């Protein structure tokens, strides 16, 4: 048992098999704190892969959707690795660091991503791939009070631009701090050496006490993620193309070639989109995945759903564009649970509203 695990247990955590807290015994309090104050999450199950060597930026740039080659030091972006048919393989956050390019994957995907990268290093490429998840820990704070927590001990980090990152030392702990896309209020992440993880978690809780910082688990994160419309899990699979799941802002339409570019570029230039991601209002909770019907005809799939501690049901679906207009009434699964399209989710291509 690690010092961080012991620390979580002392705080009342219920742990998942991978050691990440599911909750700390009061989901309602965690969810309320996220919406009204700020929460602290252990996100160490997200992969952390460091690419070093001359060709590190070019490797990712030629394989993924965003313009990674243009990143300045201490800048970052999100990008998507797609196959030749433009279907999603991995979504990552890229942080251009002095020591190399740090890739942060979705939870549980670090090992698979590292092997994928190694298989795609060409002869002559100067790139080394190192998995850092076992030697580091990663935490995140979310909520309207997140900036105040960061500013209390790291004013320079509080002023970071979106996707920027910085190194700092606080209370004998060395940290990398980065600002990420929000799902609730604002969002910062902290990466430290594994042996300092418990001390860093305590430091963050202490520095955030005045702002009401509360430790929270993955169950709260998942509810916030779905409520915000942020794709994950089933949405980030080879069933879909990035433009179909609200990731338009993570695709560059001016960079050079990458795997899957031809299909994505054609969709954009012709303003074509067959399906898209939406938020749904459900009459009753239905577990994802589940088929969605209109007039007895399959028109999409429920991809994420959760009954949150506030009693609300939040859900995401990928639908045929003809069914994605707000207010459209649909049926889900064998029971025919009613679903009403609420609004688009994620970042949509600017022409989508003209197509429905």
pLDDT digit string (tens) for 63-81? 999 999 999 999 999 999 9
How many Cα atoms within 13 Å fall on the side-chain side of residue 147?
10
Mean pLDDT, residues 6-22 taken together: 97
Give which of 274, 268, 320 is closest to 297, Cα–Cα.
320
pLDDT exceeding 90 applies to what percent of the chain? 93
Q: 166-173 contacts: CB < 8 A, separation 24 or more?
A: 166/74, 170/203, 170/207, 171/199, 171/203, 172/199, 173/199, 173/200, 173/203
Mean pLDDT, residues 1-19 taken together: 95
DSSP 164-220: -EEEEEETTEEEEEEEE--SSBEEEEEEEEGGGHHHHHHHHHHHTGGGTEEE--HHH
pLDDT digit string (tens) for 241-282? 999 999 999 999 999 899 999 999 999 999 999 999 999 999
pLDDT at 355 over 80: no
pLDDT digit string (tens) for 78-114? 999 999 999 999 999 999 999 999 999 999 999 999 9
Contact 320, 275 (CB under 8 A): yes
> What is the reported pLDDT for 153?
84
Distance CA 60, CA 77 (A): 12
Neighbours of 172 (CB within 10 A): 8
Which domains are seen in the chain, by residue range? Answer: 3-45+134-226 (3.30.1360.120), 47-131 (3.30.70.1400), 271-356 (2.40.30.110)
CA 59 to chain centroid: 22
Contact 188, 157 (CB under 8 A): yes
Please name the residue that has the structure tokens 């430290």: 192
pLDDT digit string (tens) for 25-45? 999 999 999 999 999 999 999
Mean pLDDT, residues 6-15 taken together: 97
pLDDT at 356 over 80: no
């Amino acid at each position: 048992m690690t010092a961080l695990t012991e620390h979580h247990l002392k705080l009342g955590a219920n742990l998942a098999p991978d050691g990440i807290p599911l909750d700390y015994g009061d989901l309602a309090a965690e969810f309320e704190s996220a919406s009204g104050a700020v929460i602290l999450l252990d996100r160490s199950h997200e992969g952390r892969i460091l690419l070093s060597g001359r060709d590190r930026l070019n490797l990712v740039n030629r394989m993924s959707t965003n313009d990674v080659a243009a990143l300045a030091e201490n800048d970052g972006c999100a990008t998507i690795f797609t196959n030749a048919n433009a279907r999603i393989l991995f979504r990552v956050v890229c942080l251009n660091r002095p020591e190399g390019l740090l890739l942060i994957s979705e939870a549980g995907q670090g090992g698979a991503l590292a092997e994928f990268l190694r298989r795609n290093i060409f002869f002559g490429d100067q790139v080394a791939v190192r998995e850092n998840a076992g030697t580091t820990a990663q935490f995140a704070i979310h909520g309207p009070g997140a900036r105040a927590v960061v500013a209390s001990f790291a004013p320079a980090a509080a002023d970071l631009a979106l996707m920027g990152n910085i190194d700092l030392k606080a209370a004998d702990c060395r940290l990398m701090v980065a600002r990420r896309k929000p799902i609730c209020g604002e969002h910062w992440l902290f990466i430290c050496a594994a042996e300092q993880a418990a001390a860093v978690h305590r430091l963050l809780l202490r520095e955030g006490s005045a702002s009401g910082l509360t430790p929270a688990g993955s169950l709260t994160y998942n509810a916030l993620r779905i409520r915000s419309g942020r794709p994950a899990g089933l949405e980030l699979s080879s069933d879909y193309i990035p433009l179909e799941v609200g990731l338009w802002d993570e695709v560059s339409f001016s960079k050079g070639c990458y795997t899957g570019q031809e299909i994505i570029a054609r969709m954009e230039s012709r303003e074509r989109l067959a399906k898209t991601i939406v938020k749904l209002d459900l009459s009753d909770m239905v577990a994802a995945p589940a088929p969605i019907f209109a007039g007895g005809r399959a028109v999409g799939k429920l991809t994420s759903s959760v009954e949150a501690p506030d009693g609300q049901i939040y859900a995401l679906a990928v639908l045929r564009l003809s069914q994605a207009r707000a207010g459209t009434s649909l049926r889900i699964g064998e029971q025919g649970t009613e679903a009403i399209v609420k609004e688009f989710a994620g970042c949509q291509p600017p022409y989508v509203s003209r197509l429905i």
